[in-house]
Amino acid sequence: MQEALFKNIIAHAKEYGFIFQSSEIYDGLSAVYDYGQNGVELKENIKKYWWDSLVRLHDNIVGLDSAIFMHPKTWEASGHVAAFNDPLIDNRDSKKRYRADVLLEEYIARLESRIEKEVAKGKKRFGDNFDQDQFLATNPNVLREQAKIDKVNERMFKALGEDNLEELRQLILDCDIVCPVSGTRNWTEVRQFNLMFSTQMGSTHEGALQIFLRPETAQGMFVNFLNVQKSGRMKVPFGIAQIGKAFRNEIVARQFIFRMREFEQMEMQYFVKPGEEMKWYEYWKELRMCWHRSLGLGDEKFRFKDHEKLAHYANAACDIEFLFPFGFRELEGIHSRTDYDLARHEEYSGRKLRYFDPETNERYIPYVVETSIGLDRMFLAVLSASYTQEKLEGGETRIVMKFPPWLAPVKLAVFPLVNKDGLPQIAQEVLSKVRLDHYCLYDEKDSIGRRYRRMDAIGTPFCITIDHQTKEDQTVTLRDRDTMLQERVSIEELPKILDNKLNSKQWLQKLT
Ligand code: GAP
């Protein structure tokens, strides 16, 4: 865990208007965050890149914006009322509450880090002759720790699968896990806790309906499946994409915006012919990985992880994990959800949710392949991969957010070199031209060097400076954020040059 780096990123996000704690003046609300002036721009750009890559680039994928409130039966049908639970355990001494599975996962992570230490020692000892695979397969210390990990994983997944809460508690005791706060093993029983927030709809107490804040956006797409299919004359296979808020009463809510109680999802449900779902599952796995890699955050930071235990409705599922400063964690889920959701909504609503296939004259409930990514997690991935501290000649350090240019919150800054001699007027004229295509800032305060640093800190890819030469030959300097190099270009050519550098077109093209 790169703790110091993570703390720096969180502090930077606040100082430069990316993310604030919600209701901070009242000491904040745990695991709820607000996006500031730069955060909201970055978030919008991530959304647009996701949306364009799906809805704009595929003839057979359309968008939807369904309501957050849904009929309560939706959540009975989906299984969330009965089974959207976390197993919780309290420590009687510290009075702190934990997720039992997270305590066990942290225990496993400690064993894994012991293995990593052994590998590091081996590398040091054997140098160039070090064969990692052989070392992992033969070193007695590694084998001992790996055997423990396998045993705990096996017992944990079995207990979770069978809803065996007593066994989960026993496993925590057997692993000798202590409360991180009190240091004791004085644990309560494990209990199930439903993660959905509920509220009342209606004017009188007696007539009020208990409704839930949606814990995923997916159900809005399932209940609208036929509306979209018929009104859009869609043919299977086709997809519905949606971006929207979701709410979960997370017990273990930490790691900044990684696990929040109010967050945003970008989900796409792809409706396919039964029997073809594995083909489409593989297709979406590959395409989603391409999307992540197209951002240039570093291919080695992404990996697939198959689900060890499949949810009752899935016949295949995996995560795309990202290397956050606190290790590899889930960023996106890809699930083959079978016909579970549509079949359950048929059952609970009494309405047929079937597709009539004009080619085969068959009527069937389509199978669904889902891609589901947390927008806030994607934001954190972009933020942490872009945060760079650079030592400059002369010993100064600059902090620069190396965002992919088309995602950067501010695309351009326009500066007059000095605040006189008519330069601010020319700068305003240039600004009024370029701001029609890109989000720009104007700045005339402080030295030019300080202005560059401010733009580096919010990741502005280009700065345009108007100087005395501009008056003579209608040229400006264009400074590149990453190389810090400046080139002289004519004002007339600016829109074309900038469009080439800032437009997402060339990256989107790779996804077609
Ligand atoms: N419809 C499927 C679904 O909701 P999920 O794995 O529970 O699946 C999908 O969630 C994605 O939503 C996750 O991969 C993660 O990126 C994001 N996510 C889930 N819970 C979150 C939370 N509490 N805070 C932030 N993002 C979350």
Residue 32 alpha carbon to ligand 1 centre in Å:
15
Q: Which 3 state secondary structure label does DSSP give 206?
A: coil
Cβ-contact 476, 482 below 8 angstroms? no
CA 373–ligand 1 middle distance (angstroms) = 7
Model pLDDT, residue 175: 96
The one-letter amino acid code at 80 reads H
Residue 381 near residue 392 (C-beta atoms within 8 A): no
89: which strand partners?
Answer: 98
Q: Is the pLDDT of residue 203 over 80?
A: no
Measured from the Cα of 261, ligand 1's closest atom is 23
Ligand 1 center to 194 CA (angstroms): 16
Diameter of the chain measured on Cα atoms: 81
- Which one has a higher pLDDT value, 495 or 206? 495
Backbone Cα Rg of the chain: 27
1 pLDDT above the threshold of 70: no
Give nearest CA residue, ligand 1 atom 9: 372
Mean pLDDT (whole number) for 357-371: 96
Pocket of ligand 1 (CB under 6 A): 216, 218, 248, 250, 259-260, 263, 265, 267, 330-333, 370, 372-374, 376-377
> Which residues make beta-bridge pairs with 320?
304, 332
Higher-confidence position of 69 and 163 = 69
Using the predicted structure, report yes or no on whether residue 143 has a pLDDT greater than 70: yes
- Residue with CA at minimum distance from ligand 1 atom 17: 374
Taking residues 449-453, report their average pLDDT: 96
Give percent of the chain above pLDDT 90. 89
- For ligand 1, atom 22, the nearest C-alpha belongs to 259
Separation CA 386–CA 297 (nearest Å) = 7
* Nearest to 218, CA basis, from 267, 272, 270, 281: 267
pLDDT of residue 72: 96
User: Does residue 414 contact residue 442 with C-beta atoms inside 8 Å?
Assistant: yes
pLDDT of residue 204 exceeding 80: no
Ligand 1 pocket test target in 265, 340, 382 with most atoms within 8 Å of CB: 265
Q: Who wins on pLDDT, 66 or 163? A: 66
Q: Using 50, 70 and 90 to split pLDDT, how confident is the model at 466?
A: very high
For residue 461, the model assigns a pLDDT of 97
pLDDT digits (tens, 9 = 90+) for 310-320: 888 899 999 99
The pLDDT value recorded for residue 254 is: 75
Q: Cα(319) to centroid of ligand 1, in Å?
A: 10
Specify whether the CB–CB gap between 342 and 365 falls below 8 A. Answer: yes
Instruction: Tell me if 33 sits within 8 A of 39, measured CB to CB.
Output: no
Residue 459 φ then ψ, to 5°:
80, 25
> Please, what are the domains in the chain?
1-69+207-393 (3.30.930.10), 85-192 (3.30.40.230), 410-511 (3.40.50.800)
Average pLDDT over residues 32-56: 97
pLDDT at residue 226, rounded to an integer: 96
In ligand 1, the atom with minimum distance to the C-alpha of 259 is 24
Residue whose CA lies nearest to ligand 1 atom number 27: 374
Which helix (H) or strand (E) element contains residue 350?
A: none
Q: What is the pTM of this model?
A: 0.90
